[in-house]
Structures are given as C-alpha cells and as structure tokens.
C-alpha cells in the first residue's frame, strides 16, 4: 500500500475537474513499476533533505507535491530537490505572477469565467493532460493576469492531478498587435522558467493555432529558451478543429466537436467554484508569505543567471 498523505481540503472537485483521486495517483505508481517501499524511501530522502536546508520554509512540504514531482522528474530525487528549491526561491522574484492571487479580483476571475484556460477533465490514452488557451477577446486583456490565473490552475493540479505528459494548445485567433507586444522577452523568460524549472512538466506537445504573422516573434522567442528536442514537439495548425482532430473525441467537450458530456462553460464554471472556495482562497493568500529566506542559504543562488533579470536568455532544462 502506498503511504501518500493527502490534503482533503485541497482535493475539492478533483474528480469533476480532473477525473482524478488518490487511487489515480497510486495506479500510476503501479503502472510504472514503483513499489511502495521504494516510494517511501524517496519521500523520506526528500523530507530529510528539506529539513536540513535552513533557507527553505519550515514544515511546508507535502507528500502529494513530492510524489507528483517524482513522476515528472522520472524519480530522480536530486532533480526533485532542485525543483522544490526553485519553486520556493523564485516566488519573491516574480510577484507579478505569484502574489496577490485571488479570483475574487475581477481582473483575474474573468479569465476563468470566459474560458481562456480549458483544462480538459479527461486524459488521453497515454495519460496526457490537454490544456487549451483560447484568447477569447483582446480588449482589456492582461498577459500577466491570465498567466497568473494559469499559475493558480497549475497549483491545483500539483495537488490533485496525476499524468505522464502535457499537451498544450495555444489558440491565437483573437490576438491583436497590442496584446502580442505584452509578450516581452523578460516575461517569456520568467514565465517559462517558473513552469519548467520550478515544476518541470513533461511537455509532449505544444500546438499553435491561428498564429498571426505579427506574433511569430513570440514563437521565435520561446524557441530560443527551449531545448531542441522540445522545439521539435511544437506544431503549427491552421485552425482549432485541425489540432483537436489529433486527440480522441471522447476527451473533447461537446461544444468543440467532441463526445464528452461537458461543455467549455461547464468546465469554466467548475474551476471558478473550486478556486474561489474558502480552502483554495486561504491557500493562495498563505502562499504570499511562503518562500525561501535567502539570508540563510548556505550556497548562494544567482537569480540573474537563472531567469534573466537582465533580459538575457538561457536554455532551460525541459524534457
């Protein structure tokens, strides 16, 4: 029996949103041939390391978080340690994405209500999660704000989702030139650093739809910070129907031409209810004060080299 501690308060609606529960996580370990004793040893190793690092926030590490990082990092405890350190260290460095996260803010909640981010409840046969960014309109849209909302969705998934890969669809249908200009090099570098170096998803496919000519520089800038093998997983399509045809119909919402019995609005409403719940609002408020104390770090970390405070680019270690 796998001994993975849970936080039931943060598991609200996990079956509805992700078709996932504790049993789903345990099944992945079984499918990957990880025996309970080995998993316990890995969890213990990381907990012991964490307790010995004076700069890390005391008592904040949870088995569920570690377990999902182990899956993403192919059970390398050293890589997981690095992700955890980065995860807590970077928070004060990019407050524009990681602080003041409250969906009762009308500037944030509209991106959930209006379906900018669609995380499909059902997974592919390969156990991949499909997420769609649909820029529904351009007027009054803040790239920083809708990316901040994505960090909230990702936090929820780190507690509740169990997948082996990520398929991301970016639909640029309604992107205008003023909106595209918000994708500055520094923003791209910092956002990609957070999602890859602090969490480390297994990106199996990046699907670009309806990319206007004036926004091609965004794709070019993103490619500069990705490894060549990840760049090869980027695909460009003429329309959303073309890319959705690459996935099983039973995972696609009915209003997007699929056979799943949910609509995009059903998904948006469920995410709104969940992330606005008391347990998740409290969680996000608490996160503002949970980060490393760099004055206590034994080996100093060079944040400028890590994620380009000077606007420079570096290759990021994305699998």
**CA 117, CA 161: separation in Å to the nearest integer?**
16
**pLDDT recorded at residue 143:** 96
Q: Edge-to-edge strand order for the sheet containing 128-134?
A: 117-119, 128-134, 165-171, 203-209, 234-237
- Per-residue pLDDT of 44-58, as tens digits, reads 999 999 999 999 998
What's the mean pLDDT when you consider all of the chain?
Answer: 90
What gap in Å lies between CA 258 and CA 244, rounded to an integer? Answer: 9
Q: Are strands 128-134 and 117-119 parallel, antiparallel or unpaired?
A: antiparallel
Please state, in angstroms and rounded to a whole number, the distance separating the CA atoms of residues 149 and 81. Answer: 26
Rounded to 5 degrees, what are φ and ψ at 169?
Answer: -110, 125
**Chain centroid, CA 312 distance in Å:** 23
Q: What percent of the chain has pLDDT over 90?
A: 73
pLDDT of residue 310: 40
Output DSSP code: residue 140: T
Residue with tokens 């003429």: 238
More confident position, 217 or 116: 116
The predicted pLDDT at position 311 comes to 39
Residue 19 Cα to chain centre, angstroms: 17
Give this prediction's pTM: 0.92
Q: Please, are residues 299 and 53 in contact by the beta-carbon 8 Å criterion?
A: no
CB 84 within 8 A of CB 290: no
- Partners of 165 in beta bridges: 128
* pLDDT number for residue 26: 86
256 vs 278: CA distance, rounded Å: 32
Instruction: Reduce the DSSP state of residue 3 to 3 states and report it.
Output: coil
Give the pLDDT mean for 3-29.
Answer: 86
Cα–Cα distance, 75 to 48 (Å, whole number): 16
State the CB neighbour count (10 A cutoff) for residue 268: 18
The tens digit of pLDDT for each residue in 89-125 reads 999 999 999 999 999 999 999 999 999 999 999 999 9
d(Cα 66, Cα 176) in Å, to the nearest integer?
40
- Could you tell me which residues come within 8 angstroms of residue 309 by beta carbon, excluding any fewer than 6 positions away? 93, 186, 303
According to CATH, the superfamily of the domain at 14-319 is CRAL-TRIO lipid binding domain (3.40.525.10)
- At residue 134, the 3 state secondary structure works out as strand
């Amino acid at each position: 029996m796998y001994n993975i501690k849970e936080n039931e308060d943060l598991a609200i609606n996990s079956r509805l949103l992700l078709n996932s529960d504790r049993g789903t996580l345990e099944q992945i370990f079984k499918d990957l041939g990880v025996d309970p004793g080995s998993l316990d040893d890995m969890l213990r190793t990381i907990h012991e390391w964490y307790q010995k690092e004076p700069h890390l926030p005391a008592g904040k590490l949870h088995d569920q978080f570690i377990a999902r990082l182990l899956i993403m990092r192919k059970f390398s405890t050293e890589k997981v340690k690095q992700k955890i350190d980065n995860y807590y260290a970077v928070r004060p460095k990019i407050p524009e994405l990681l602080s003041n996260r409250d969906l009762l803010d009308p500037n944030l909640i509209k991106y959930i209500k209006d379906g900018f981010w669609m995380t499909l409840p059902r997974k592919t046969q390969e156990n991949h999660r499909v997420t769609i960014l649909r820029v529904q309109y351009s007027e009054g849209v803040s790239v920083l704000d809708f990316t901040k909302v994505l960090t909230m969705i990702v936090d929820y998934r780190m507690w509740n989702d169990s997948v082996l890969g990520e398929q991301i669809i970016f639909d640029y249908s309604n992107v205008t030139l003023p909106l595209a200009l918000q994708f500055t090099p520094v923003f791209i570098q910092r956002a990609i650093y957070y999602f890859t170096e602090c969490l480390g998803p297994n990106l199996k496919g990046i699907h670009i739809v309806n990319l206007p000519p004036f926004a091609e520089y965004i794709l070019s800038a993103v490619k500069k910070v990705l490894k060549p093998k990840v760049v090869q997983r980027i695909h460009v399509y003429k329309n959303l129907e073309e890319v959705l045809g690459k996935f099983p119909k039973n995972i696609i919402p009915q209003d997007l031409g699929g056979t799943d019995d949910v609509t995009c609005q059903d998904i948006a409403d469920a995410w709104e209810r969940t992330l606005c719940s008391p347990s998740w609002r409290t969680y996000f408020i608490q996160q503002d004060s949970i980060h490393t104390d760099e004055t206590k770090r034994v080996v100093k970390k060079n944040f400028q080299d890590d994620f380009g405070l000077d606007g420079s680019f570096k290759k990021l270690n994305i699998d």
